[in-house]
Every structure is written in structure tokens, then in C-alpha cells.
Amino acid sequence: MTKLPTDLLIESLAAQAGPVTPLASPLRRALAAVAALGLAIGAAVLLFAFPDSIAAQAADGRGTLGFELASMAVTAVLAIFGAFHLAVPGRSRAWAYAPLAPFAAWFLLSGVGSYRVLANGGHGGWELGESVRCLRFILMVSAIVATPLIWRLSRARPITPGPVAWLGGLGAGAASAFALHFFHPFAITFVDLGVHLLTILLVAAIIRLLDRRVLRPA
């Protein structure tokens, strides 16, 4: 089904050779995005967070809280780095798997923490409780985080938008779940954890479904 001779197509494309501004390297663009995200979350925490949120969760019997927070932050950062790298042709596909280990560590550590809360007779058990608020928070913050992130990613017009969308969604969801801990003055139960996981996957799936519209693939 070849339509135009290739030479003719080349001439036609060369005739449209306007100047373009090369994108900065994915590393620099990802660093800028992560720095902006860090500043925004930091400002929101300083201005609006519950002052004793982290102390309350730590006192609720979760010795792993620091590691959980670190693994969430690393998941978000690696997912964002991966999305920026995969948006550009020819970069290593290994970036797609970079956030998987911290993501697994996060849920493993949170699972252990939730078990400790349950074993110590903590609140919550298997009730839905505050989980609906968590879901609302993660969805809302993810939308705020994802909008500029996806816009930045779309500038590369990714040729394989699927993995870029998944990683962008995972990055936004993980960053939101990280921020949630500063607005969540009680320990996370198994139900909360399940809701967090489902919400993050939901965010990633929504962005994946919209990828052809929002990422402007080439």
C-alpha cells in the first residue's frame, strides 16, 4: 500500500524543515519535574499538613514507617525518571522496570506495618473507615500532579505512549500516596493499603486509557 515514492516524501519533509528547539536530556527534564514536585509537596505539607501526622503514625506501632516513606518517594522518583526516558526514542527500556523493586518494597513494608498495627490491637481492622478519604485524596492530588507531568511528557510526542503513561501515572500516584502520610494522623490498615494500591493503579490506568489524547504520540 505504498502511496508516494519515498524520494518525493523526503523532498516534501525537507521543504518543511523549520528550526526546532531540541528537548533537554530526559535526565535534566526528570530532575526538574521531581524538584518542582518536591517543592510543591513540601510547601503543601508546611502550609496544610497535620503537624503531628507522622508522629501519630509512628506511635501507632509502625517501626517501618521511615522505610515505607522512603520506598514511596523512590518509587515516585524512579517512575518519573522512567517516564521521561521512555518518552524519547532510543533510551534504555530497562527504565520501565526501575520503579518495580521500590514499589514492591513499599507494599511489603506497609503490609508488615499494617500487620503490626493489627497484632498490637490497633484500630481499624478490616473496616473501610478512613479509606474513602484516602481514595479521594490520592485521586485529587494525582490529578493535580499528573496534569503538568503529562504535559511535560507530551512534549516528546512518545512513539510508545503506553509505558510512558503507566510510569507517569505510577509516579503521580506514588507521589500522592507519599504526600497523604502528612495528612493522615493514624496508622494505615490493610484496607487502607489495598485502597492505596487500587487507587494508584486506577490513576495509572486512567492515564494509560487517555494516553493517545494526552501524550500526543507521534
Partner 1 sequence: MHWGGNGADGELTELLARAQTGDADAYRRFLRGAAPFIRAVARRRLRGDEAVEDAVQEALLTVHRVRHTYEPGRPVEPWLAAIAVRRAIDIARRGGRVGRREVHDEAAYETFADPRTNAVERNDDARELRRMMDELSPGQKEAIELLKMREMSLAEASTASGQSVASLKVNVHRAIKRMRLMLAKGPPE
Distance CA 84, CA 102 (A): 18
Size of the chain in residues: 218
* 93 phi, psi to nearest 5 deg: -70, -15
CB atoms within 10 A of CB 191: 18
Q: For the window 93-132, what string marks contact with partner 1 as x by the rule CB under 8 A? A: ----------------------------------------
Distance CA 120, CA 141 (A): 31
Task: With both helix axes pointing from N to C terminus, report the angle between 131-154 and 26-48 in degrees, rounded to the nearest 10.
Answer: 150
Q: Which of 73, 82, 74 is nearest to 163 (CA)?
A: 82
Q: For the window 158-197, what string marks contact with partner 1 as x by the rule CB under 8 A? A: -xx-------------------------------------
Out of 59, 89, 147, 209, point to the residue binding partner 1 (CB under 8 A).
89
Q: What is the DSSP letter of 64?
A: T
Q: For the window 141-160, what string marks contact with partner 1 as x by the rule CB under 8 A? A: ---------------xx-xx
With respect to partner 1, which residue has the nearer C-beta, 24 or 209? 24
The residue type found at 214 is V
Please list every residue from 35 through 64 that binds partner 1, using CB under 8 A: none
Residue with cell 505510577: 170
Out of 47, 48, 90, 121, point to the residue binding partner 1 (CB under 8 A).
90
140 binds partner 1 (CB under 8 A): no
Cα 4–7–11 angle (5° rounding)? 100
32 binds partner 1 (CB under 8 A): no
Q: Interacting stretch for partner 1, rule CB under 8 A, among 44-52, 57-65, 81-89, 96-104?
A: 81-89
Cell, residue 73: 518517594
Out of 11, 51, 66, 213, point to the residue binding partner 1 (CB under 8 A).
11
12 binds partner 1 (CB under 8 A): yes
CB atoms within 10 A of CB 113: 23
Distance CA 165, CA 170 (A): 8
88 binds partner 1 (CB under 8 A): yes
With respect to partner 1, which residue has the nearer C-beta, 150 or 191? 150
31 binds partner 1 (CB under 8 A): no
Cell, residue 162: 503506553
Out of 4, 35, 101, 132, point to the residue binding partner 1 (CB under 8 A).
4
- Residues within the interface to partner 1 (CB under 8 A): 1-4, 6, 9-23, 25, 87-91, 156-157, 159-160, 218
